[in-house]
Amino acid sequence: MSYQGTTFTLNTGAKIPGIGFGTWQDKEAQEDAVYEAIKAGYRHIDTARVYGTESGVAAGVKKAGVPREELFIVTKLWNNAHHPDDVEKQLDASLKDLNTDYVDLYLMHWPSAFARSDELFPKEGDKTKTGDTDYVDTWHAMEKMQQKGKAKAIGVSNFSKSELERLLSKANTKPAAHQMEMHPYLAQKSFSDFHKENDIHITHYSPFGNQNAIYSSGQDIGKLIDDPVLVEVGKKYGKNGAQVALAWGLAKGHTVIPKSKTPARIKANLEGDFKLDAEDVAKVDGVDKKLRFNDPSGTFGWKFYSDLEGKQ
Ligand code: NDP
């Protein structure tokens, strides 16, 4: 097996596996998918309150029978629970569904609050009802969750540079990680450098770019994993384009969290953990199209990524 088991170190001192397993979509398939993933060798699972996959993850973990301390489990606070009085309640619900006392990393899924509600998507007419909780106040409530030991580390997701700078200026605890859309078609070099300078670890979501069928804006161009440059680079190592996209992320010092419900792909994606030569990293750098596929600005009532690369 060519899986190297790459890990990185967070600013908390904890290790985070370089390849994690995504669990957004295909809710019913996740118990089996997570079981397959752990059996194949994944030790990092990514979920979120809004995915509805936390209990499927727990069932897959249980079936795999790996001790809790060998796993790195990530979940995310959803936008309906940004109010400081709601954060612990939602984390407790996640922990219950995940059948664990703690998560290794707890992320604020988006900077944008919805109205306080038991509904994940509170409505005002046919629009999402937005809230006015400042993400800085939400962050302070998350800091308390880390102090209580319910989250070993805390971080953010989908923040712009100015939002992150503002958070850094007010935080008592610096985010350990930032999970964001990043792949060879959206490389965001300077934003990536900014994280290195601030010792904030990056996780690439949608590491295969427009492979996720939900991304309508990515349907009329060729798939990232079929890009001739990635395919050609892969030939040198006996790897496919998908594996090259993952290895490229690892070469940047980032974590990647591919999702698949297909056992053969689950195994193959783990073999994306291999070392790309510098010249090949540079070739893959060259395919950047500054294309972003995930932007819910229209539905969440928030202008996301305002200072970042990626066509809006
Ligand atoms: P990915 O880039 O992981 O792509 C997933 C898609 O690619 C699925 O359709 C899957 O199909 C297919 N696929 C997987 N492996 C291969 C392969 N080797 N060859 C060809 N096709 C393949 O997309 P996601 O958007 O799911 O991102 C990964 C994870 O990141 C999510 O599951 C989630 O955990 C996280 N995420 C976080 C977000 C956030 O806001 N923080 C936003 C988006 C994602 P199949 O399953 O049928 O095999």
Q: Do 213 and 179 touch, CB atoms closer than 8 A?
A: no
Fill in the DSSP letter of residue 297.
Answer: H
Q: Is 51 a catalytic residue?
A: yes
153/139 Cα distance (integer angstroms): 12
Look at the pTM and tell me if it is higher than 0.95: yes
Q: Judge if the beta carbon of residue 268 lies within 6 A of ligand 1.
A: yes
Mean of per-residue pLDDT scores for the chain = 97
CA separation, residue 219 to residues 85, 185, 192, 209 (Å): 41, 14, 26, 11
Percent share of the chain, pLDDT over 90:
95
Q: Is 283 in the pocket of ligand 1 (CB under 6 A)?
A: no
CA pair distance 294, 312, nearest whole angstrom? 9
- The pLDDT tens digits of the residues spanning 110-120 come to 999 999 999 99
Binding site membership of 21 for ligand 1 (Cβ less than 6 Å): no
Instruction: Please say whether the beta carbons of 116 and 157 come within 8 A.
Output: no
Helix (H, G, I), strand (E, B) or coil at 223: coil
- Over range 116-128, report the average pLDDT: 94
Q: Mean pLDDT over residues 108-132, rounded?
A: 96
Q: Above 50 in pLDDT, residue 1?
A: no
* Ligand 1 atom at shortest distance from the alpha carbon of 266: 15
What pLDDT is stored for residue 126 in this prediction? 87
Confidence of residue 218 (pLDDT cuts 50, 70, 90): confident
Is the pLDDT at 312 greater than 60? The verdict is no
Retrieve residue 185's tokens: 């078609």
| CB 207 less than 6 A from any atom of ligand 1 | yes
Does 13 score more than 70 pLDDT?
yes
SS3 47: coil
- Per-residue model confidence as pLDDT tens digits over 14-72: 999 999 999 999 999 999 999 999 999 999 999 999 999 999 999 999 999 999 999 99
Residue nearest ligand 1's atom 1 by CA: 206
Q: How many CB atoms lie within 10 A of CB 54?
A: 25
Task: Output the pLDDT for position 3.
Answer: 67
| Span from the CA of 165 to the centroid of ligand 1 (angstroms) | 29
Nearest protein CA to atom 27 of ligand 1, as residue: 206
Residues 195 and 202 sit within 8 Å (Cβ to Cβ): yes
CA count, 13 A, side-chain hemisphere, 281: 13
> Which of 21, 208, 214 is the best mutation target for the ligand 1 pocket, counting ligand atoms within 8 Å of the beta carbon and taking the most?
208
Ligand 1 within 6 A of 226 CB? no
